[in-house]
A and B are shown apart, each in its own frame.
Chain A
Amino acid sequence: MLELILFYTFGAIAVISGILVITRHNVVHSAAFLGATLFAVAGIFLTLHAEFVAGVQVIVYVGGILVLFVFVIMLIAVERSVHERQYNKQWTIALITSAILIVEIAYGLYRGRDSLVLPAVVPPAAAAAGGNSEQVGTALYTSYLLPFEIASILLLVAIVGAVVLSKKRTPAEE
């Protein structure tokens, strides 16, 4: 019962804030509602017993990415964009496309509902398997060591790319 209440609370917060993110005129409000969505998704992760990912979600998404968003919003003019027209001329086509996407997802879920009835899995004894962070860490550093290293290279490339993109050009380069 508690599980159900938590799921619907977090799910409702996530979906409603998500809708508000894409409908607000002021970008700062959108960023605030994005924060609410991210926190709610972290709560959903907690109900799924993925404590480590929930922590990473809060630290990296809310503490890193969202702050970066707000930082950039503050760097560039907000006032002018509030008064601009907010939606594309193509919004009718966009909504039709989205409706097709919804139908597609609903059809996929409907056809695939039988495959969701998976054989019951016996959860490994908690003492033998260790905590959630330990399990994730073991998987990261054994089976997924190569993807982990590639992810670190990706982050390095992203850092260099972001610096190169936003730095001032010297007169010699121009």
Chain B
Amino acid sequence: MVTTFHYLLLGAALFTIGVIGVLTRRNIMIILMSIELMMNAVNINLIAFSNRLQQVTGQVFAIFVITVAAAEAAVGLGIVIAMFKNKETMNINEIDLMKW
């Protein structure tokens, strides 16, 4: 019997993987991919509760999260391209113009 708890654990695992990816990698593309992983984890939780409560609200919000993820990917990749034009690097440690 698969319970809501199983899905919450899966979501927590994926979210933690995403956090580790964002904090440890230096390649901006992989950081953006890790953010997508975290959004997927959130979606799993939303839909698990939508199924548990037999309400579609969770699914509607999952669709909004996917919309935000699409917008974020478009703008984020636009920033990556603009950045690559200026600095020729994907390494976030070299992008320190605003670092104090």
Physical interaction between A and B: yes
**Residues in A lying within 8 Å of B, measured CB to CB:** 3-4, 7, 11, 14-15, 18-19, 21-22, 27, 30-31, 34, 37-38, 41, 44-45, 47-50, 52-53, 56-57, 60-61, 64-65, 68-69, 72-73, 75-77, 81, 84-88, 90-91, 93-95, 97-98, 101-102, 105-106, 109, 113, 116, 118, 121-124, 132, 135-136, 138-140, 143-144, 147, 151, 154-155, 157-159, 161-166
Cα A58 to Cα B24 with chains together (Å): 28
Q: Which of A22, A56, A93, A155 contacts B34 (CB 8 A)?
A: A22
A to B CB contacts below 8 Å, 16 in the list: A15-B13, A21-B30, A48-B47, A48-B50, A61-B66, A76-B81, A85-B26, A86-B27, A87-B25, A88-B93, A102-B12, A121-B52, A123-B54, A139-B57, A162-B75, A165-B81
**Residues in B lying within 8 Å of A, measured CB to CB:** 1-10, 12-21, 23-27, 29-30, 32-34, 36-37, 40, 43-44, 47-48, 50-54, 56-57, 59-60, 62-64, 66-75, 77-82, 84, 88, 90-91, 93
CB pair A53 B5 closer than 8 Å: no
Closest CB of chain A to B17's CB: distance in Å? 4
CB pair A68 B26 closer than 8 Å: no
Cα A37 to Cα B91 with chains together (Å): 24
Q: A34-B36, A61-B69, A154-B67 are in contact. Are A94 and B24 (CB under 8 A)?
A: yes
Cα A6 to Cα B56 with chains together (Å): 22
Q: Which of A31, A48, A106 contacts B7 (CB 8 A)?
A: A48
CB pair A30 B30 closer than 8 Å: yes
CB closest residue in chain B, given A28: B29
Interfacial chain A residues near B72, Cβ < 8 Å: 158
Cα A109 to Cα B15 with chains together (Å): 14
Cα A164 to Cα B92 with chains together (Å): 22
Cα A86 to Cα B63 with chains together (Å): 33
Interfacial chain B residues near A73, Cβ < 8 Å: 29
Q: A14-B10, A84-B91, A121-B53 are in contact. Are A69 and B20 (CB under 8 A)?
A: no
CB closest residue in chain A, given B3: A116
Cα A3 to Cα B51 with chains together (Å): 14
Interfacial chain A residues near B47, Cβ < 8 Å: 44-45, 48, 50, 53
CB pair B82 A166 closer than 8 Å: yes
Interfacial chain B residues near A135, Cβ < 8 Å: 56
Known: A72-B77, A158-B71. 8 other contacts (CB 8 A): A18-B13, A27-B29, A27-B90, A50-B59, A95-B24, A109-B12, A116-B8, A151-B68
Cα A98 to Cα B20 with chains together (Å): 6
